[in-house]
Structure 1
């Protein structure tokens, strides 16, 4: 049987063996599918608050003033990137333009950022409502959690956390409206895990993950961390 030469074209071989950087396409990929230059230039938040992942104004504390005054219901938030170029161009395309292929190298880059952070026993993706999942065709948080789970050898629970009703997009709402919008929107039918990490693509005000974390604490989950690809600036910053 003859094999088609098209299958082994230079372009296809490059993609198969992941030889070129996903961003610049010019240099050889070294880590997480990126060349060292592109990986170094991705926007990050450092130093960041351990609780909410917003930038710290000083290095005298690991926790920002906001979280000291009013700690969030989750123990720690780890984010790979600041929501700035090119991340702020890539993530909307993943969600709204049916382009999830970039989630692979983004998840790999996030795995590098996690470093020696405590590993949870389970990863739980932030769910979409059934109607929105049907329209989009996939849940980007679930795809991200599955990739991270394979990289870090952590199981993924895709069934226990649900969002039975659809809600307006959070980005269109102010702070108090965000909280009212999500009140009672999520449900939990899973076990009382000792330690889990909620996984999502973007964290803005933290209203969504806080609503979920409060629900999980009421259901007996002992510790909740939040792992997100990108963190937006605080409102007004």
Structure 2
């Protein structure tokens, strides 16, 4: 019988290699790029405990913050555990760009959560329901009509400095935003410019991060970019939606929120210069 098993192994299709662990194993039906075992260990943030920053545990940062928050809320796909730190390291620092579609698909889960929450707000007059997570978009359509389904107007990736771009060869936020744009038929615009290079934030305290990121971004005044923004504003008005522009900032990880806040402040200033107002949200792949 051994020769029969050998013959079958020759003609049987090889199992795919998991992008997380590297082993050959059966893929997850929900995310074909990873095996069933790795998928089962993903620390999804299904019910954010902090409704502002999307943290899955108690959040002293938001509770002690006294100043105005420039974003409506942040939502993240996963908790930044040791395993997720390793995955992000493979992608961000070791240049494994094969992970881009998979991480973008994971970020799409956070978008689905934000979309359902905001759609619920519209339907219930501001009462937020947080029981939903990771339902397919078709399931949403069974409960909400297309006209009532909340949708962002555009995505804005956090820009990286020239130094970081030369080091990595790509902007991870831009790549993740591009995946989300394709999946959700959204527009991505580089509305932000980084004004200066900042040292890595991972070794800094919260106060140091906040000080370091202050005025690190400004609005992109490129004529072509502003023309696209004006077109988007006109399109929103044409659809009869007299409301602020819905902008989502995209980044890989939310730690103290210093980067997101600095980006949001710059976007508010840019929109004011264009004579419009904006509702600004953020989506990140991970929340520490």
Question: Taking structure 2 as the reference length, what is the TM-score of the superposition?
Answer: 0.65
Query: What TM-score do the two structures reach when normalised by structure 1?
Result: 0.78
- Unaligned runs of 5+ residues in structure 2 are 1-12, 116-149, 221-225, 234-244, 272-276
**What are the superposed Cα offsets for residues 100-123 of structure 1, whole Å, 9 maximum, x if unpaired?**
211211211221343261321111
Q: Which runs of 5+ in 1 are unaligned?
A: 1-9, 58-63, 233-237
Mapped pair 1:203 → 2:254: yes
Distance 1:160 1:187 in 2: 9
Alignment partners' CA distance in 1, 2:211 and 2:19: 40
Distance in 1, Cα, partners of 2:36 & 2:90: 24
**CA spacing shift, 1:196–1:165, aligned 2, 3 Å:** same
Matched, 1:30 2:29: yes
Seen in structure 2, the aligned counterparts of structure 1 residues 151 and 46 have a Cα distance that, compared at 3 Å, is closer
CA distance in 2, matches of 1:28, 1:143: 23
Larger Rg: 2
What SS does the corresponding residue of 2:43 show, helix, strand or coil? coil
Residues 104-159 of structure 1, C-alpha deviations (whole Å, 9 max, x = no match): 112112213432613211111100011221221101111111011111111111x3
* Contact 2:191–2:267 (CA under 8 A) maintained in structure 1: no
> Which of these residues, 124, 146, 160, is aligned with residue 178 of structure 2?
146
Higher helix share: 2
Q: Out of 101, 111, 116, which is 1:114 matched to?
A: 111
Count residues in correspondence.
212
Q: Note the 1:1-237 alignment, pairs <5 A.
A: 21-23=18-20, 25-33=24-32, 34-35=34-35, 37-48=37-48, 49-55=50-56, 66=63, 70=67, 72-115=69-112, 117=115, 118-157=150-189, 159-189=190-220, 190=226, 191=229, 194-220=245-271, 221-232=277-288
